[in-house]
Amino acid sequence: MHLNLDNKTALVSASTSGIGYAIAERLLQEGATVIIHGRGEATVAPAVAALADKYGAARVQSLVADLSVPGTEQEAAARFPQVDILVNNMGTYALKDFFSMTDADWQAMFDTNVWSGVRLARTYMKGMLERGHGRVIFISSEVALTPMASMAHYSASKATQLSISRSLAELTKGTAVTVNAVLPGPTETDSLKSFIQSVNPGLSYAEAERKFMDENRPSSLIYRLAKPAEVASVVGFLASEHAAVINGAAIRAEGGTVPTIA
Ligand SMILES: NC(=O)c1ccc[n+]([C@@H]2O[C@H](COP(=O)([O-])OP(=O)(O)OC[C@H]3O[C@@H](n4cnc5c(N)ncnc54)[C@H](OP(=O)(O)O)[C@@H]3O)[C@@H](O)[C@H]2O)c1
C-alpha cells in the first residue's frame, strides 16, 4: 500500500531515536518532508545526517528545542510555519513509588508528555483546519487504559492525551483533518532493551525479554516487544488518506495486551 505523503510536511517530536525516529523514517519513506526534533544538537545532528543520507537532505529538516518549555512552540512555528502532519511523540516515563512522587515529578511529567503536545496542536492545528486538511497524532500508551501505581504520573499523562486527542477531533467536523491517538505497548527501543538486559545480567537478551513478558505483560497476545517500525506503520497509515475515516479514535498498537474489546 502506497501512503502517498508527497508534498506533506511532518513534525515528529522526539524523533532522534526510538519510536519517533521510526515514525520519521516511515513518513520519509512515503515521500513526506520530515522535521526531526530533539532537545540538543548532539542527538539531532546524527539522526538528521543518517536520514538525509537515505532520503535526501532537502526532505530532512531539524528542530532543536526543549518543547516542554512554554514558548518553544512559537520558535518552531517561526521556522516551520506550516505542518501537515503533527506527531506528538515526545514522552518520558519513570518508575516511582506514589508516596515519593513530588509535585515537581508530576509537573515535569505533564510538561513533557502533555503540554508539549497541547502547545504544538494549538500552534499547528488551526492552519490545518483553515486548509481543510491535516493530521494530528498523539503517541499515548497502553497504560492509558491500564494505569500502573508504579507509574501513576506517567499513566495519568497518557490517559490525558486520549482526552485531549478526542477533544481536538471534535474541532474537525466537516474537514479532512483528523486527530487520533496511538497506544503502543512495550516497544523495543534502545532504552527499553538496555533496561531489560540490565535487570537480568545473567540472561541472553531473548531470555530476558521472555522474563519481562512473563513478569510484566502476561496478557500480551504477541508475547514479545513491538518493533518501533511496527508502531510507525500504524502511525504512517493514520497519517495517510487511507485512514480518512478514522477520527477521534484511540488505536491500540500494543499486541493485544489490554484484554478488552473496547
Ligand atoms: N518504548 C515503549 O515501550 C513505549 C510504550 C508505550 C508508549 N511509548 C511512548 O512512545 C513515545 C516515544 O517513546 P520511546 O520509548 O521511543 O522514547 P525513548 O526511546 O526513551 O526516547 C526517544 C527520544 O525522546 C527524547 N527524550 C528522551 N527523554 C526525554 C525527556 N525526558 N524529555 C524530552 N524528550 C526526551 C530523546 O530525544 P533527545 O534526547 O534528542 O531530545 C530520544 O531520542 C513516548 O511518548 C512514550 O511514552 C513508548
Whether residue 123 sits in one domain with residue 180: yes
Enter the pTM of the model: 0.98
Whether residue 199 sits in one domain with residue 123: no
Q: What is the Å distance from ligand 1's center to 18 Cα? A: 6
Whether residue 237 contacts residue 3, with contact meaning beta carbons closer than 8 Å, is answered with yes
Whether residue 238 sits in one domain with residue 208: no
Whether residue 234 sits in one domain with residue 137: yes
Q: Is residue 260 part of a domain?
A: no
Q: Give the model's pLDDT for residue 262.
A: 86
Q: Is residue 61 part of a domain?
A: yes
Q: Which atom of ligand 1 is found nearest the CA of 91?
A: 45
User: Pick from 153, 154, 181: which is nearest to 165 by CA?
Assistant: 181
Q: Is residue 259 part of a domain?
A: no
Whether residue 220 sits in one domain with residue 147: no
Q: Is residue 101 part of a domain?
A: yes
Q: Is residue 136 part of a domain?
A: yes
Q: Give the model's pLDDT for residue 1.
A: 84
Whether residue 131 sits in one domain with residue 71: yes
Tell which one of 11, 25, 36, 39 to mutate to probe ligand 1, the residue whose CB is within 8 A of the most ligand atoms. Answer: 39
Whether residue 104 sits in one domain with residue 33: yes
Q: Is residue 3 part of a domain?
A: no
As a whole number of angstroms, the distance between CA 134 and CA 177 comes to 4
As a whole number of angstroms, the distance between CA 135 and CA 244 comes to 10
Neighbours of 29 (CB within 10 A): 14
Whether residue 146 sits in one domain with residue 57: yes
Domain extent at residue 234: 9-186+227-253
Q: Is residue 80 part of a domain?
A: yes
Whether residue 18 sits in one domain with residue 140: yes
Whether residue 219 sits in one domain with residue 168: no
Three-state secondary structure of 95-156? CCCHHHCCHHHHHHHHHHHHHHHHHHHHHHHHHHHHHCEEEEEEECCHHHCCCCHHHHHHHH
Q: What is the CATH number of the domain that holds 137?
A: 3.40.50.720
Tens digits of pLDDT across the chain (262 residues):
899 999 999 999 999 999 999 999 999 999 999 999 999 999 999 999 999 999 999 999 999 999 999 999 999 999 999 999 999 999 999 999 999 999 999 999 999 999 999 999 999 999 999 999 999 999 999 999 999 999 999 999 999 999 999 999 999 999 999 999 999 999 999 999 999 999 999 999 999 999 999 999 999 999 999 999 999 999 999 999 999 999 999 999 999 999 999 8
Whether residue 46 sits in one domain with residue 107: yes
Summarize pLDDT for 169-212 with one digit per residue, the tens.
999 999 999 999 999 999 999 999 999 999 999 999 999 999 99
DSSP structure class, residue 170: G
Q: Is 189 in the pocket of ligand 1 (CB under 6 A)?
A: yes
Q: Give the model's pLDDT for residue 81.
A: 98
